[in-house]
Amino acid sequence: MIFTSNIFIFIYLPVFLAIYYGVKDTWRSHVIVFGSYLFYAWWRPDFLLLFVGITYWNYYFGIKINRLRDIDRKLAFRWLTIGVVGNLATLGYFKYANFGAEALANTLQQFGVNTFTLENIILPLGISFYVFQALSYIVDIYRKDADPTDRFVDFAAFISLFPQLIAGPILRYRVIAEQLRQRVHSFDLFSLGACRFMQGFAKKVLIADSLAPINTYFLSISEPTMAEVWLGCVGSLFQLYFDFSGYSDMAIGLGMMMGFRFAENFNQPFNSMSLTEFWKRWHLTLSEFLRDYVFIPIAKTNKVGTDTAAFTTMFLSGLWHGASFSFIFFGVYFGFFMLLERRLGLTTRIDSPYRPGRHIIAMIMVVLSMPLFVTGDLGHSIELYAGAFGFNGVGSIDNYLYATSSMTMAFLVIAIIWLVVTGVVNRRFYDHDRNRYFMQHVAGWQAGLLWFGFSLAVTKLAANTFSPFLYFQF
Amino acid sequence: MFPTMSSASKVNGILFIAMIAVMFVYSVPKLWGFAETQTEAAKLYADGQLSRKFEEQYDSGFFARESAIKAWSNLSFWLFREGLTGVVVGEDGWLYTNEEFTFPNDLDARLERQMARVEKTAARIGAQGKKLIIVPIPMKADIYGDHVSHELGERPALLYTRFTEQLSKRNIPFSPLREAYLASKDRTQLFFKKDTHWTPEGAKLAAQQLALSFPDLLGDELYRTEVIHETQHAGDLVNFIKVSPWLDPEIYSPEPLARYQTIRVEQKTDASALFGNNNPSVVLVGSSYTKMDEWNFEGFLKEHLKTDLLSIAVEQKGQFVAMDEFLASDLLADDSVETVIWEFPVRSLITQASESSGWSSTMEELF
């Protein structure tokens, strides 16, 4: 089930909320677990078994590690290692086995060795997200950053919480632990959640889905010209942003409706003036997860420098995004240029003074990463890079107009306007004015604008065919 | 701290709850109705099909669906004079497929690939002692490009010329059609305004041109073509138009279509007719331009070539699929078949997808 479907908004959500608010506080985690399992089973009930297995595995290891961490640190570490390996092996099997087998078969083929085929393994929805959350639980317990929950149902609720189950934001146990035990429910928070949900819904349905034809056509172009590649990259990047940040908004909004406060996942990434800053604004929960569970542990070993740790982190970030060489290179691309920024002293922070030159360069660098991301195929990416640098001529964007529509291009303009407005608001916020900004309090004409956008999105959803979230594949 | 929504009026919450509550009341009967009609629910549920089925049923019957489609279509048409993706809206009620407007960057490579296929086909047919004749149908946007505001330039004309030049270069006979079409386009409507296909008059002119170009094909059987009735033709491109009729009444107005029938008027009297064990000497292979009876291309060909013929044609799959069917049939080796006429829409030259290059082929290129 996806948030941008009639079934979810008009059947699942009212029933879930009615039951959730209809039961006592002590039963609400049970409602979350049951509702979330139902939500997940809507896709494939059989994969619930894996889901429950991972939940129980980590719950058990959490208890074990907690018992041992003050008595025998080494043994506790062993248990942690087994727990981590178990999680990563599960993720590795479902996400990377096909890729590994294919790469091996291709290599053997070069030497004339008969190849083998691996039966196609289905990638369970959201596995990259819920495995990471489970990992955060046992690691946080080992590090004494959090105490294990004494109720299995609370832990199951943490892993399965349906708003962020499929595509994040990635929850950290130590951040959410207290909310699992006790959270404040208020109509103010519910109203805020509803607004946040509607904002995300409009971003996804109205803008991301409207930009989808650009990406579809972009990926089908043969011998693409410079103009075609740059437009395709920009269109794909904006589609990805509105799709994923829209999903995150909806997840955060739904969480608020249930009394939760999830971590933010995006902070106007197109305001970035360096690639380092970009990753402090884009998919924040992944960046923070990798920082705390990969970068810091590697950097702390003192065997390698922070540069190597940073590069390794970005490499793994690429690998997390997908099982293909293009995703690995996507990580390497950012890792390399972020190292270069560090060496040249070009890194910036969210509140760094605005430098238009750096802003433009950073955005060009982000746009140039898109071929590696959207194709999922290194060969195709190389073709697109050849086009981007003029090997097939400058060309024009005429074919986009025929293959997509003027309406699609109009939404591209709307997306740009949206990003400029919110970008300026964001810039002002960090520069000086933290007390008043656009959409800070949703009421009056701003509420009217939000409801208008949401209503338009509902009609567009009714008129459109099904469109899955891009991050469902991760 | 982030500059995101930090508070909201309770009115938003009240309205949101009201909205989902009302919509839930609307949805319950649909859920119930669906549940009562399912016979294999458990089996379908196990692999996620049941939920998909319900979603499809719910969405297709959603009360706002048709009006939403209409509203968005109207907006798009009103702002940009556009239909759904797939159609290009011209002036005076003319519609075109967008395929004729998107010229690929690798046109040379595509043309080369298709010419290789055509040449291979001609060689196979030639090896059986048969003659292949191609009927290249020009693009609608080439002949009637003056009804569209988009500037197509010389590209459609060049494509036709390049194709026929390549055929000449490879010594593959063809029946030139473009000049005849351009000369007649104002006198006779050769393509429908709202359809991707030629009119019966367009098909008739193609048959006449073929008979003029290849007089050696003419037989001695007389056929007569007559109008059996007049009807109205909506046009396949109207499927891409969802606007309200008041926005442009002309866009939905159907076009007159005369339905023809071709009948033999003089019985051939020879041994083969007596025993009836021979196939005609001509086989027509083609796409929907041939397949659809509305255009009567097969009938016009019989009439103008004065000979009977067999037809192998497919809809929606293109002329290459039809040719593959012919090559796989017994007709290829049939001695009575002497000529194969291949109806070939030129627009297919730009719609055939290129071969994608994957990781391994790129590595081969690199190293």
B60 touching A, CB under 8 A? no
Cβ A10–B23 below 8 Å, yes or no? yes
What pLDDT score was predicted for residue A45?
76
Partner-chain residue, chosen from B2, B69, B359, that has the shortest CB–CB distance to A463? B69
Residue of A nearest to B102 (CA): A399
**In the predicted model, what is the mean pLDDT of chain B?**
86
Q: How many CB atoms lie within 10 A of CB A231?
A: 21
Confidence of residue B224 (pLDDT cuts 50, 70, 90): very high
Closest-CA distance, A265 to chain B, in angstroms, reads: 10
How confident is the model over A368-378, as a mean pLDDT? 92
- Do residues A111 and A216 share a domain? no
Partner-chain residue, chosen from A196, A223, A441, that has the shortest CB–CB distance to B106? A223
DSSP E strand boundaries for chain B: 7-8, 87-89, 95-97, 131-137, 223-233, 255-264, 282-286, 309-313, 339-345
Confidence of residue A126 (pLDDT cuts 50, 70, 90): confident
B357 touching A, CB under 8 A? yes
- Do residues A175 and A254 share a domain? no
DSSP readout, B285-330? EESHHHH-GGG-HHHHHHHHHTS-EEEEE-SSS-HHHHHHHHHHSG
In terms of Cβ atoms closer than 10 Å to its own Cβ (0-12, 13-18, 19+), residue B313 is buried
- Do residues A132 and A231 share a domain? no
Tell me which of A148, A183, A218 is where a domain ends.
A183
Tokens of A77: 């570490």
Confidence of residue A177 (pLDDT cuts 50, 70, 90): confident
- Cα–Cα distances (Å) from A83 to A290, A408, A430, B8, B311, in that order, read 18, 47, 41, 42, 69
Boundaries of every domain in chain B: 96-349
pLDDT digits over A36-53, tens only?
988 888 777 777 888 889
Q: Is residue A319 included in any domain, yes or no?
A: yes
- Do residues A230 and A176 share a domain? no
Counting residues of chain A whose pLDDT is more than 90, the rounded percentage is 49
Cβ A403–B98 below 8 Å, yes or no? yes
- Do residues A81 and A171 share a domain? yes
Q: Is residue A1 included in any domain, yes or no?
A: no
Cβ B8–A225 below 8 Å, yes or no? no
B364 touching A, CB under 8 A? no
Low-confidence winner among A190-199, A349-358, B200-209 (lowest mean pLDDT): A349-358
Query: What's the pTM value of the predicted model, to 2 decimals?
Result: 0.85
pLDDT digits over B254-308, tens only?
999 999 999 998 665 555 554 555 678 899 999 999 999 999 999 999 999 999 9
Cβ B106–A5 below 8 Å, yes or no? no
B37 touching A, CB under 8 A? no
B367 touching A, CB under 8 A? no
Chain B contacts of A466, Cβ < 8 Å?
55, 59
Chain B contacts of A228, Cβ < 8 Å?
105
Annotated active-site residue A321? The verdict is yes
Chain A contacts of B59, Cβ < 8 Å?
5-6, 462, 466
Best residue in A11, A17, A44, A422 for a mutation probing chain B (most B CBs within 10 Å): A11
Q: Decide: A211 and A415 in contact? Cβ < 8 Å.
A: yes
pLDDT digits over A8-28, tens only?
999 999 999 999 999 998 899
- Do residues A172 and A194 share a domain? no
What is the spatial distance between Cα A207 and Cα B106, in angstroms, rounded to a whole number?
31
- Do residues A386 and A419 share a domain? yes
* Residue B190 scores a pLDDT above 90: yes
In terms of Cβ atoms closer than 10 Å to its own Cβ (0-12, 13-18, 19+), residue A472 is middle
CA angle B113, A392, A275 (to 5 degrees): 130
Question: Which one has a higher pLDDT value, A452 or B356?
Answer: A452
Contacts across the A-B interface (CB distance below 8 Å): 196
Q: Provide the domain count of chain A.
A: 2
Tell me which of A158, A183, A208 is where a domain ends.
A183
What is the spatial distance between Cα A392 and Cα B108, in angstroms, rounded to a whole number?
13
Cβ A382–B20 below 8 Å, yes or no? no
Q: Is residue A54 included in any domain, yes or no?
A: yes
Q: Which of A376, A35, A58, A388 is nearest to A223 (CA)?
A: A388
Q: Chain A 235-264, CB below 8 Å of chain B: which residues?
A: 264
A329 touching B, CB under 8 A? no
Given the residues A321, A380, A432, A441, select the one marked as catalytic: A321
Confidence of residue A466 (pLDDT cuts 50, 70, 90): very low
Confidence of residue A119 (pLDDT cuts 50, 70, 90): low
Partner-chain residue, chosen from A196, A213, A379, that has the shortest CB–CB distance to B361? A379
Q: B224 by DSSP, 3-state: which?
A: strand
B1 touching A, CB under 8 A? yes
Q: Is residue A43 included in any domain, yes or no?
A: yes
DSSP E strand boundaries for A291-405: none
Closest-CA distance, A449 to chain B, in angstroms, reads: 12
Closest-CA distance, A296 to chain B, in angstroms, reads: 23
pLDDT digits over B64-80, tens only?
888 898 999 999 999 99
Partner-chain residue, chosen from A194, A325, A440, that has the shortest CB–CB distance to B12? A194
* Residue A391 scores a pLDDT above 60: yes
Chain B contacts of A7, Cβ < 8 Å?
51, 54-55, 58
Residue of A nearest to B13 (CA): A191
Q: Decide: A153 and A26 in contact? Cβ < 8 Å.
A: no
- Do residues A69 and A198 share a domain? no
What pLDDT score was predicted for residue B116?
93
Range of the domain at A78: 6-183
Chain A contacts of B354, Cβ < 8 Å?
222
Tell me which of A129, A156, A183 is where a domain ends.
A183
- Do residues A284 and A360 share a domain? yes
Cβ A407–B79 below 8 Å, yes or no? yes
Cβ B68–A463 below 8 Å, yes or no? yes
What pLDDT score was predicted for residue A192?
96
- Do residues A138 and A260 share a domain? no
pLDDT digits over A301-329, tens only?
767 778 888 888 898 888 888 778 899 99
- Do residues A246 and A325 share a domain? yes
Closest-CA distance, A48 to chain B, in angstroms, reads: 11
- Do residues A200 and A152 share a domain? no
Counting residues of chain B whose pLDDT is more than 90, the rounded percentage is 54
What pLDDT score was predicted for residue B360?
35
